[in-house]
Structure 1
Amino acid sequence: MAKPVGSITRGTTGYNRLRRCDRWIAAVHGPMLRRAARPLVVDLGYGASHTTTLELFARLRRVAPEVEVVGIEIDPARVAVAKPYEREGLSFRLGGFELPVSRPPALVRAFNVLRQYDEADAWRYWDALRARLAPGGILVEGTSSENGRRAVWAGLSPDGPETVTFSARFDAFERPSDLADRLPKTLIHRNVPGERIHAFLTDFDRAWAVSAPYGAHGRRQRWLAAVEHLAASWPVPRQAPLGGPGRWRLGELTLPWSAVS
């Protein structure tokens, strides 16, 4: 077997760390997984514990009962620990960015993996993973805080980046720009004046500030008001599955990638 492509990460993980992203995947891409023939989902770089892969499997099986999930890790010891938890539709194997699976995946989730790489490598691995997707497939790549209460992820099709999503518990930030440390590698170093991502986060903070009176009814109401304010000047999707009050109430905001690239 060829050597897996990539480097071993710290492997930090925990229960429900990726729940916010899983919930978004199920809502936004569940219909695609239901339509696909033999839908395969890859959880790339699941870490020192199988926990988040098992949670992804359970959540996706509720919306796409035929989905198969494969957890891939570059550390043989981590794969050995996960193997006893295999079951029908769920397996674990050794590998990296080459994705050692038998058919193109409909979806790849890669979380807290590319953070250790430089920007050029991050783009290169984005391209490599997109090239392995099935037609109409999606790569979800992002970073979360240790407890999963703050996260940002990009959604990429075989043609390139499509969306960027900001997600947080309402008690996990003082202002929306606190999510900047979770930006994808391709954006995090561009959060400086003159760049679109910096302009967006600045405007989001301003919208959060002017919506402060809504805080009397709770931080969720303040978030909803801030997103509505922001939507007047940014292309915030207003309809499901990417947008609308149903998503915003969860502490989510999705933008087209073109708005911040």
Structure 2
Amino acid sequence: MNAPVGNPTRGTTGTNRLRRNDRWIAASDAFRRAADPLVVDLGYGASGVTAFELATRLRRVRPDAEVLGLELDPERVATARRQLDDVRAGRTPFAADLPVSFARGGFEVPVPGGRRPAVIRAMNVLRQYDEGDVADAWRRVASRLTPGGMLFEGTCDEIGRIASWVDVESDGRPVSFTISLRLTELEHPGIVAERLPKALIHRNVSGERIHDLLTALDREWDRAAPLSAFGPVQRWLAAVSALKAQGIPVQGTKQRWRLGEVTVPWTAVAPAS
């Protein structure tokens, strides 16, 4: 076997850290409509828990879903497999028959039997790369998808309250950008600036589209402050609705917005140069 492609990550992994992204994947057309609902958790980190949680949530939507966790470090693969042994033995809160497996792999996304995943999730994988490496990484990883599949690449904080990601099609083309925040005790949505995907994190400066979006979101969040008496969800709905009324191409429905999400086309945040 050739050496896996990619650079090692710090690999911090926390229970429920990726729950917001799990929820997004479970609702995605790429997963729900897939002929073969195989999902790869690429670069899952020091523990296999994110793959277990992802599979648990996906199976509620499609009982035939499968999750394959891939890591560069053979020690991490061995650790995850030991954890899986505990799952199979019924020594964890996860179902013993959880459809999860682990293997060594990187951006080449090796999948047994020549299968092509419907979804590849790569959260907190590219943070330590250079911005100039992102487009090539997207193309390489996304090329392993089945037609109609999707790569979800992004970043979140250590406890999963602040997250953002990019939806990338199988040709490597980014199509949308999503912010997902825990609204309770949220001071300003702009806090997500610390957890933007690598393609955007250095672009939160005047003259860049992502800066304009975060500035507008903070402004409307402040304007909606009187609605805090009715709870943070109502305040958030008002802020996102105001963005849309101003012509910002906000996607999705209020059902998604209630989850603390706001999604825009990639063209609305793409780097200026």
Q: TM-score band (shorter)?
A: over 0.9
For residue 78 of structure 1, what is the amino acid of its counterpart? R
SS at match of 1:72: strand
- Is it true that 1:139 corresponds to 2:154 in the alignment? no
Paired residues for 1:138-177 under 5 Å: 138-159=150-171, 160-171=173-184, 173-177=186-190
8 Å Cα contact 2:71/2:106 also seen in 1: yes
For residue 75 of structure 1, what is the amino acid of its counterpart? D
Q: Identify the residue that residue 36 of structure 1 maps to in structure 2.
A: 34
For residue 223 of structure 1, what is the amino acid of its counterpart? W
Alignment root-mean-square deviation, CA = 1.4
- Is it true that 1:14 corresponds to 2:14 in the alignment? yes
Q: Identify the residue that residue 250 of structure 1 maps to in structure 2.
A: 259
Paired residues for 1:93-112 under 5 Å: 93-101=103-111, 102-112=114-124
Mapped to 1, the partners of 2:185 and 2:144 lie a distance apart of: 35
8 Å Cα contact 2:55/2:100 also seen in 1: yes
Q: Identify the residue that residue 102 of structure 2 maps to in structure 1.
A: 92
8 Å Cα contact 1:150/1:172 also seen in 2: no
TM-score under structure 1 normalisation?
A: 0.93
TM-score under structure 2 normalisation?
A: 0.89
Mapped to 2, the partners of 1:207 and 1:119 lie a distance apart of: 30
8 Å Cα contact 2:36/2:118 also seen in 1: no
- Is it true that 1:83 corresponds to 2:88 in the alignment? no
Q: Identify the residue that residue 45 of structure 1 maps to in structure 2.
A: 43
Superposed CA deviations along residues 118-175 of structure 1, whole A, max 9, x for unmatched, are: 0111221111111111100000011010000000011111241111110111135311
8 Å Cα contact 2:152/2:168 also seen in 1: yes
Superposed CA deviations along residues 12-44 of structure 1, whole A, max 9, x for unmatched, are: 011100001111111223xx4343223211100
SS at match of 1:230: helix
Mapped to 1, the partners of 2:128 and 2:117 lie a distance apart of: 24
For residue 151 of structure 1, what is the amino acid of its counterpart? A
8 Å Cα contact 1:104/1:134 also seen in 2: yes
Superposed CA deviations along residues 162-192 of structure 1, whole A, max 9, x for unmatched, are: 1111011113531111101111111111111
Q: Identify the residue that residue 208 of structure 1 maps to in structure 2.
A: 221
Count of residue correspondences: 254
Question: 5+ unaligned residues in a row in structure 2: which ranges?
Answer: 86-96
- Is it true that 1:184 corresponds to 2:192 in the alignment? no
Q: Identify the residue that residue 259 of structure 1 maps to in structure 2.
A: 268
Mapped to 1, the partners of 2:12 and 2:20 lie a distance apart of: 17
Q: Identify the residue that residue 94 of structure 2 maps to in structure 1.
A: none
- Is it true that 1:236 corresponds to 2:250 in the alignment? yes
Q: Identify the residue that residue 88 of structure 2 maps to in structure 1.
A: none
Question: 5+ unaligned residues in a row in structure 1: which ranges?
Answer: 238-242
- Residue identity over aligned pairs, in percent, reads 58
Q: Identify the residue that residue 25 of structure 1 maps to in structure 2.
A: 25
SS at match of 1:132: coil
For residue 118 of structure 2, what is the amino acid of its counterpart? A
